[in-house]
Amino acid sequence: MKENKNSHSGHRRDFIKKASIASLGISIVPRHVLGGVGFTAPSDKLVVAGIGVGGKGESDIKSFADSGKAEIAFLCDVDDRRAANSRARFPGAKYYKDYREMLEKEGDKIDAVSVSSPDHNHAVQAMAAMKMGKHVYVQKPLTHDIYEARQLTEGAEKYKVVTQMGNQGASNNGTRLMSEWYDAGLIGEIEEVYCWTDRPVWPQGIPWPQTPDTVPNELDWDLWLGTAPYKEYVGGLVPFNWRGWWDYGTGALGDMGCHLVEVPVRVLNLKYPKDVQCSVGSVYVDEFKRGYFPDSCPPSSHVTMTFPKTDKTKGDIKLHWMDGGIQPARPEELGPNEVFGDGGNGVLFIGTKGKMMCGTYSENPQLLPTSKTERTKVAEKYERVPGEANGHYAQWVEAALAGYGKKEVSSPFSVAGPLTETLLIANLAIRGFDVRKELEGGRVEYPGRYIEMLWDAEKMRVTNFEEANQFVKRNYREGWKL
């Protein structure tokens, strides 16, 4: 690996500052002494390291840099092909393949870490950074497992770092406006909420490929696998289709749930569901022979969760999640040629006095009938984020520069963690649907199908179907730990 000629730019800046101040007879007080653990002087740029810098990671670190207040100083990716654009954009950033090596060697030069790897490695990478006192930005979903989400939520508070999940719609005005409509009583008490998506847009409900492929020279397959069980490399998995495999991804719920379910969670102040039930799409491989592909997420699902009463509801709330193109019935108040949600995705609130809806990222919020929207005015109650979704990145940068507890962010782990847990509880029901028991005479049964699973949020376990609890926390591959 070539020595990066700019890798010590931070040290050079410090040297120049010290030399200038020394000439005035003024002594230096280190910033950590001034502000405590995690403090970053507001006059400095936030020194950011990116883990996973292709695809969404590429746009994330560019957005941090575009804030004008962040220096992208270190890049890490297991796939040189995916990292190419970011390396070209930030030629002064030092490049690593193993995030552990990067944190070990460069930790004293890093203020914050952005994590945009596949879902199954989010938690170990984010936790490693937090334990070093680094602020973290983690792509959605926050984690792969329920247990991991709870650990990161607690870790953010324990290590006093500024956190943000990459569900940028949480910074949009739409969620705030819909909260104001609801708080003003415009649609009455909420009875049910529907969230839906046309995802997956990658293969699901399929068997694992039987024939291994040659690992590309640019890819470190072992590092890519990380916490996941070892399997031979297969084509088509990297860089995107891993989302449909349970070992690595979290399906449509993980991909889009953080954008869509975030809206009712914020509007109604929902926490953890108390029960969950589901139905999933079937794939038939022969006459009356249903395929059994437990490694893969199903092609579609409908999950119903019950949330207990909150300070913003009068009773329990039923929240429906639909994916694979399944949608709820169009509201009668919606005109026949008006788009429902944003077409492929949406959120619908059903209240005792009316309804409201929006699209992905809470965009285009509408009261129903939509003619109500323009003529309805309510007082602005919730502070807006400059730049909305695009400002999600600068918001985190500025909060990290200010230090822990100094500035609010839209999706801190205290909010993003429970939201992610909720989505993963829905996935737990979907995975429980495929739990199979072998019986005598070659017969099989599926005890997790067509039941309602009762959830104990405090203990993070299903109380009436023990087999489902295997999906709360994975066993990592040897050599990896949280």
Instruction: Indicate if 190 and 128 belong to the same structural domain.
Output: no
The pLDDT of residue 156 is 98
Which residue, 145, 169, 193, sits at the end of a domain? 169
Say if 398 falls within a structural domain: no
Which pLDDT score, from 0 to 100, does residue 268 have? 98
Do residues 209 and 287 both lie within one domain? Answer: yes
Q: Are residues 161 and 197 in the same domain?
A: no
For 163-208, write each residue's pLDDT tens digit: 999 999 999 999 999 999 999 999 999 989 999 999 999 999 999 9
Within a domain: 74: yes
| Mean pLDDT score, 245-272 | 98
User: CA 201, 204, 210, 212: dihedral to nearest 10 degrees?
Assistant: 40
- Whether 118 is covered by a domain: the verdict is yes
Instruction: Show Cβ contacts of residue 26 under 8 Å, excluding neighbours closer than 6 positions.
Output: none
End of a domain among 147, 169, 191? Answer: 169
- Residue 325 within any structural domain of the chain: yes
Please identify, among 169, 193, 224, the residue that sits at the C-terminal boundary of a domain. 169
Residues 273 and 195 reside in one and the same domain = yes
* Whole-prediction pTM: 0.90
Do 369 and 290 lie in a common domain? yes
User: Residue 319 pairs with which residues in a beta bridge?
Assistant: 193, 305
Q: 249 with 146, same domain?
A: no
Span 75-79, average pLDDT: 98
In which domain, by residue range, is 104 found? Answer: 42-169
**Same domain (yes/no): 110, 180:** no
Residue 35 has pLDDT above 80, yes or no: no
403: in domain: no
Question: Side chain identity at 81, as an amino acid letter?
Answer: R
> Same domain for 80 and 204?
no
**CATH code (residue 361):** 3.30.360
Q: 9 in a domain, yes or no?
A: no
Q: Beta-carbon neighbour count of residue 259 at 10 Å?
A: 25
Distance CA 92, CA 110 (A): 14
Q: How confident is the model at residue 283 (pLDDT cuts 50, 70, 90)?
A: very high
Q: Say which amino acid occupies 142.
A: L
The amino acid at residue 288 is: F
What confidence score (pLDDT) does residue 44 get? 85
My answer on whether 239 and 347 are in the same domain is yes
Q: Are residues 144 and 203 in the same domain?
A: no
pLDDT reading at 12 higher than 80? no
pLDDT tens digits, one per residue of 230-240? 999 999 999 99
Q: Would residue 391 count as lying in a domain?
A: no
Tell me what the mean pLDDT of segment 248-260 comes to: 98
Give the angle subtended at the CA of 52 by the CAs of 46 and 56, to the nearest 5°. 90
One-letter amino acid for residue 165 of the chain: M
Torsion of CA 210, 211, 215, 221, to 10 degrees: 20
Statement: residue 6 has pLDDT above 60:
no
Predicted confidence (pLDDT) at residue 34 exceeds the cutoff of 90: no
Q: Are 194 and 249 in the same domain?
A: yes
CA angle centred on 100, ends 95 and 104, rounded to 5° = 85
Q: What is the CA radius of gyration of the chain?
A: 24
Per-residue pLDDT reduced to its tens digit, 300-354: 999 999 999 999 999 999 999 999 999 999 999 999 999 999 999 999 999 999 9
**What are the phi and psi torsion angles at 83 (to 5°)?**
-85, -10
How many domains are there within the chain? 2
Q: 93 and 72 in contact (C-beta within 8 Å)?
A: yes
Average pLDDT along the chain: 92
* Confidence grade of residue 116 (pLDDT, cut at 50, 70, 90): very high
- CATH number of the domain bearing residue 126: 3.40.50.720
Average pLDDT over residues 252-272: 97
**Claim to verify: residue 187 and residue 318 sit in the same structural domain:** yes
Residue 161: other Cβ atoms inside 10 A: 26
Q: How far apart are CA 239 and CA 250, in angstroms?
A: 15
33 lies in some domain? no
Query: Is the predicted pLDDT of residue 40 greater than 80, yes or no?
Result: no
- Read off φ and ψ for residue 149, nearest 5 degrees: -60, -45
What's the mean pLDDT in 364-385? Answer: 97
**Sequence-distant contacts of 367-374: CB under 8 A, at least 24 apart:** 367/181, 367/186, 367/187, 368/331, 368/333, 368/334, 369/333, 369/334, 369/335, 370/334, 370/335, 370/338
